[in-house]
Amino acid sequence: MQIAIVGAGIVGAATAHELAIDGHDVTVFEQRSAAAEEASFANAGLLSPALLIPWAAPSLEGGLRRQLWGAQATLRLAGGAGRTDLAWLWQWRRAARSPNAPATLAALARLGQYSLARTRQAAADMGMDAETSRGTLLLLRTAQEQARLEPALQALREAGVAVNAVDADTARLIEPGLGPELPLAGALHTPEGESGNCRLFAQMLRYAAQERGARFLFQSRVQAVGSAPTSLRIAGDAAGAVRRFDAVVLCAGTATAALLRPLGAALPLKALHGYSISAPVRDECHAPQGAIVDPHHRVTITRQGQRVRVAGGAELGQGGSEAEPEHHAPTLQKLYHTLSGWFPGGAQLSSAQVQVWRGARPMLPDGAPVIGPSGMPGVWVNAGHGAAGWAQACGSARVVADLLAQREPEVDVQALAMRRF
């Protein structure tokens, strides 16, 4: 089949790789000049388990009022937020209370497990390492925090994920660099969790796909998608010109909704912007060894080779222009404070090599992606992975490849179908 993929982030690169493995004629259209230049550029880098990644499951995030107001508010309305953002917030609130939430959590847990295995297989096949580190430690300041996470823990256990409750002393044995000042009641440890450089892995997948014949066309902005016949219209082509394919897979992040809208498909996809700070390791003994999640502040800390990355924050609204986004100083201060609090002296935060980044997490109200047919002939969707893009990319890519080949996927993703919207 001749298949077009729109978007060359981690999800698009993974989809191109899986479809190329199956022998399809694959062309990837990307509006940027390189792979993984947007949401995949400097994200948290967490792989698994996806349900423990902050913002991956709105049903675990607490009430909307708690998120938007008060001293510990973790979601804010940035400049440019409007009616559609407020409407999305209400959908998000309803999704957290939906009777379908347990099924969604279960599907995400299964997909995360499956995707981690596919990611490791792809890395082994390519013979390369994306600065990965093993083990994820979710820090608990109080016993109540674990109780709030119980639905996710149950879903993970049913999916076969090992999650071990450990006391504070054991947590500090796992991560010797943890500072003694912040309160620590215990932790949840997932030995099979991973973290690493998502952008590097996306580039690795791109080259592996190209070796199998896939083509990547950069600085190629898709203006419209057609169905029956399946086609794309690319900016800069002659007026009225279309490029025809047997299938189109939309992996374009937040742009996916805009491309589907003229076809009559409404997808409530929004950019939930977050921040990351990457800094060189200062002292190996005080730096994190794996991935750390602080659920209290919705902050993650990951080790990526000789760098430490702290990520967090959630904003609805553009917040300035695309060329000059407005950084929210209090959010950045929280990230600096969280990193230096948990790992004092572990990173060179005053170094000229410190990188501050603000990027979008393409999210749907229930926190889960859409994987599969769009409902329009020939048009498929693999988008809306939010904060768990890398954790779900390789698994969701294989599911799409199997569905296109009319094979039964190895993992059940019916709860993640387009029809739920």
Q: Where are the domains of the chain?
A: 2-420
pLDDT of residue 324 exceeding 80, the answer is no
| The CATH number, out of the four listed (3.10.180.10, 3.50.50.60, 3.40.50.10140, 3.40.1280.10), of the domain defined by the range 2-420 | 3.50.50.60
What is the spatial distance between Cα 240 and Cα 220, in angstroms, rounded to a whole number?
16
**Using DSSP, how many helices (H) and how many strands (E) does the chain show?**
11, 19
Note the pLDDT of residue 70: 45
Looking at this protein, which amino acid is placed at residue 12?
A: G
**pLDDT tens for residues 280-301?**
999 999 999 999 999 888 899 9
Three-class SS of residue 187?
strand
Note the pLDDT of residue 76: 85
Model confidence at 61, pLDDT cuts 50, 70, 90, reads low
**pLDDT tens for residues 180-220?**
888 899 999 999 999 999 999 999 999 999 999 999 999 99
**pLDDT tens for residues 372-407?**
999 999 999 999 999 999 999 999 999 999 999 999
**pLDDT tens for residues 252-291?**
999 999 999 999 999 999 999 999 999 999 999 999 999 9
**pLDDT tens for residues 16-38?**
999 999 999 999 999 999 999 99
Spatial CB neighbours of 375, under 8 Å, sequence gap ≥ 6: 265, 418, 419
Euclidean distance between the first and final Cα of the chain, in Å? 28
Model confidence at 65, pLDDT cuts 50, 70, 90, reads very low
Note the pLDDT of residue 64: 46
**Pseudo-torsion of CA 139, 384, 45, 163, nearest 10°?**
40
Note the pLDDT of residue 102: 87
Are the C-beta atoms of residues 22 and 266 closer than 8 Å to each other? no
